């Protein structure tokens, strides 16, 4: 489970960095730019935290809370993506994939913790 979590952390970090970079010259609404930048920064932060935990174990409570937060954010992004798809009639696969990836990273991070 830890290997899957680290792989997803790498993928989510790359996607998060691309989200932040896509906001540099975006001509979109300020709230949408803030949302994308925030999601990108969270993905990068939790990706770095997961990498650090893979090299040298961090505080168990911190990693548990981080994993739970990722699960909550992932489920929220999935629900929002489904809602947006139903309301607008335009399926946003990127939001659904990113939310599912965050959810899976958080879940595998929690399940991959060593029980001592």
Q: Where are the domains of the chain?
A: 2-111
What is the pLDDT, as a whole number, of residue 114? 65
Global pTM? 0.76
Q: In whole angstroms, give the CA distance from residue 76 to residue 55.
A: 30
Mean pLDDT by 10 residues, the chain (116 residues): 80 81 73 77 82 79 85 86 83 79 85 69
Cα 36 from Cα 17, distance rounded (Å): 10
Q: What is the pLDDT of residue 52?
A: 82
Per the document, the length of the chain is 116
The pLDDT of residue 115 is 59
Query: For residues 87 and 42, what is the distance between their CA atoms, to the nearest angstrom?
Result: 27
What is the reported pLDDT for 9?
A: 82
Q: Would you state the pLDDT for residue 116?
A: 54
Instruction: Please count the other Cβ atoms lying within 10 Å of the Cβ belonging to residue 31.
Output: 8
């Amino acid at each position: 489970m830890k290997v899957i979590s680290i792989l997803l952390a790498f993928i989510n970090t790359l996607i998060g960095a691309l989200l932040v970079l896509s906001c540099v010259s975006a001509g979109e609404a300020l709230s949408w730019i803030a949302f994308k930048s925030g999601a990108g920064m969270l993905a990068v932060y939790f990706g770095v935290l997961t990498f650090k935990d893979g090299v040298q174990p961090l505080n168990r409570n911190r990693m548990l809370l981080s994993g739970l937060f990722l699960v909550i954010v992932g489920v929220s992004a999935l629900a929002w993506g489904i809602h947006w798809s139903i309301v607008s009639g335009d399926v946003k696969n990127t939001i659904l994939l990113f939310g599912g990836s965050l959810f899976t990273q958080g879940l595998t991070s929690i399940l991959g913790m060593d029980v001592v």
